[in-house]
Amino acid sequence: MEFSPLDIVAFGSFLVLVIAVSLYASRKEESSEDYFLAGRSLPWWLIGVSLVASNISSEHFVGMAGDGFRIGLAIACYEWVAAIALVVVALYLLPLFLRSGIYTLPEFLEYRYGPTARSLMAFYMMIGYVAIGMAGVLYAGALTLESVYGMDLTQAVWLIGLLAGAYTIYGGLKAVVWSDLIQGLALLGGGAFVLVLAMEASGGLGAFLQSNADRLHLMLPADDPTLPWTIYLLGIWVPNLGYWGLNQFITQRALAARSLRDGQMGVLFAAFLKLLMPFLIVFPGIAAYDLYADRIGTPDQAFPILMTELLPAGFRGLMFAALFGAVMSSLDSMLNSASTIFTIDLYRKRYPRADPKTLLRVGRIATLVFVVVGCLIAPLLVDMGGVYQYMQWFWNIIWPGVLATFLVGILVPKAPPQAGTWALLIGPVVYLALNLGLEIALLNAAAWSFLASAATILLAARWAPMSAARELPDAQAVSMEPHPAAKPVGVVVIALTLAIYAYFW
């Protein structure tokens, strides 16, 4: 694909706008709370767009569209179940976390179980963000540059990493969320434009639905090796509740809300936006199967080839800007969250007297180190197969134990401190044993891993309960008045999700 002068102007202007707005918005960051939690001042609409922009990135446009090409609509289960998971987060988990006044989710585990559980989760999260999240996002974005524009994969990885790292190192979370706002709007607009072009090329929506009737099912047979219908019993809920409720990368925006009202409505706004994502990402991947199956060597090339064939001159720079923005949006968010966890959960624990300016400096240095490590790992993913499935496979090593540790720890307040550490250790072992030993579907392996971790805590509570439950903090860093419309809005989100499932059953 060749860039026209208009493409170059559109792409360059977009990058300049994102970086300029981010740096201006974060020009007064002076304390660790400013840098890591944007001074706890984020409004609901900024939280909602930032949540989705940080989540949807190149691994979705490349990897999820690729799985739509390979599997069909069933891969959309991750997105539509996420909408319900976000309702749970808004109504039940977020009030608990905001009331405690925490910076990080591992910090909450220390209040509940002690310092060992906190350090172990912090270690898991940093490894996950750098080796799984950042590496996957960098690789998928670089693959697009390689497939569409012929750029060397390794050079593309470093270009993306250094650009996103630059303003994240300087501005912290406030820079991230304002860049997310611009990139999120570009993402939604660009995805909608490609969807319209893909439907036109397929002969219209009616023709698309008719010709792909056998690929537009959300429920696959129980013996399907990737997404059998049995995942809905528990397996699909484990990564979704873990990712959306217990993931620093995501919940850091909600923790930075200026009130519980803003946090709840921001999360619910993100739930509405998540309902749109499969139409903007998976549908084009399925259309690519109809239109260009003979030209696509691997599923991850589906969306890049679609861009190459369908986008007219003058719009290529805009779509590339949207895709590039999606890459940077996820990358800057993971960088900021990884540096937050390192600084607050590890460095400050070791040096409790460190002043705010020292923590600020440590956070920026950590961000730089994580950028370099992620860029070194990303090119190694070239032989890993589909990038979206790669990321889901590895994240499910972490989420079952983490989810069980939080949920059972909250519901069973007398479970002893060591139970959280055991659950965090047992979860990954069970998942790997089931997935590598028995080769069952990864989400079903995640379900059994969650049950094993939960059983560990329950047995510990039965055999060695604490004499009195630990007191969780009640810092109330922001206004804790819930939004009166939160529950009705949550009901609407769940109803819309069920209607979608009923249509594409």
Three-state DSSP class for residue 120: helix
Q: Which residue has the higher pLDDT, 84 or 308?
A: 84
Q: Is the dihedral of CA 216, 219, 223, 226 positive or negative?
A: positive
Residue 217 lies in a domain: yes
Residue 432 lies in a domain: no
CA angle, 226 as apex, 220 and 227 as ends, to 5°? 40
pLDDT value for 167: 57
Residues 6+ apart with CB under 8 A from 415: 408, 409, 457, 458, 460, 461, 465, 466
Q: What is the mean pLDDT of the chain?
A: 82
31 burial type by CB count under 10 A (0-12 exposed, 13-18 middle, 19+ buried): middle
Q: Give 426-462 pLDDT, tens digit per residue.
A: 999 999 998 887 767 788 889 999 999 999 999 999 9
Residue 388 CA to residue 281 CA, distance in Å, equals 13
Mean pLDDT (whole number) for 133-148: 79
Q: How many domains does the chain have?
A: 1
Whether this model's pTM surpasses 0.85: no
Residues 6+ apart with CB under 8 A from 21: 178, 179, 182
Residue 278 lies in a domain: yes
Q: Give 176-197 pLDDT, tens digit per residue.
A: 667 777 777 777 787 888 899 9
Q: Is the dihedral of CA 307, 137, 20, 151 positive or negative?
A: negative
Using the predicted structure, report yes or no on whether residue 314 has a pLDDT greater than 70: no
Q: How confident is the model at residue 390 (pLDDT cuts 50, 70, 90)?
A: confident
pLDDT value for 23: 65
pLDDT value for 353: 84
Residues 6+ apart with CB under 8 A from 456: 404, 419, 422, 423, 426
Q: Which residue has the higher pLDDT, 456 or 312?
A: 456
Helix pair angle (5-25, 316-341), 10° resolution: 30
Residue 394 lies in a domain: no
Mean pLDDT (whole number) for 91-113: 86
Residue 177 lies in a domain: yes
Q: Which residue has the higher pLDDT, 81 or 3?
A: 81
Residue 392 lies in a domain: no
DSSP one-letter code for 298 = S
pLDDT value for 440: 78
Residues 6+ apart with CB under 8 A from 303: 61, 62, 65, 66, 144, 194, 281, 284, 285, 288
255 and 106 in contact (C-beta within 8 Å)? no
Q: Which range in 11-15, 340-344, 474-478, 497-501 is most confidently predicted, on average pLDDT?
A: 497-501
Q: Give 13-59 pLDDT, tens digit per residue.
A: 777 777 777 666 655 555 444 454 545 667 888 888 878 877 776 66
Q: Which domain holds residue 372?
A: 5-381
Lowest mean pLDDT among 17-31, 258-272, 340-354, 444-458: 17-31
Residue 424 CA to residue 453 CA, distance in Å, equals 7
Residue 336 lies in a domain: yes
Q: List the one residue out of 444, 503, 502, 504 whose CA is nearest residue 229.
A: 444
Mean pLDDT (whole number) for 297-320: 77
Within its chain, how far is the Cα of 243 from the centroid? 7
Q: How confident is the model at residue 67 (pLDDT cuts 50, 70, 90)?
A: confident
Lowest mean pLDDT among 132-136, 361-365, 439-443, 445-449: 439-443
Using the predicted structure, report yes or no on whether residue 473 has a pLDDT greater than 70: yes
pLDDT value for 32: 47
Characterise 466 by phi-psi region: left (phi > 0), alpha (psi -120 to 50), beta (else): beta
Residue 462 lies in a domain: no
Q: Bridge-partner residues for 42, per DSSP?
A: 257
Q: What are the backbone angles phi and psi of residue 259, rounded to the nearest 5°? A: -165, 165
Mean pLDDT (whole number) for 112-120: 91
Residues 6+ apart with CB under 8 A from 403: 238, 241, 242, 245, 246, 450, 453
Helix pair angle (153-201, 260-292), 10° resolution: 80
Q: Where are the alpha helices (DSSP H) in 293-386?
A: 302-310, 316-341, 348-350, 356-377
- Provide the CATH number for the domain around residue 283: 1.20.1730.10
* Exposure on the CB side of residue 132, measured as CA atoms within 13 A: 20
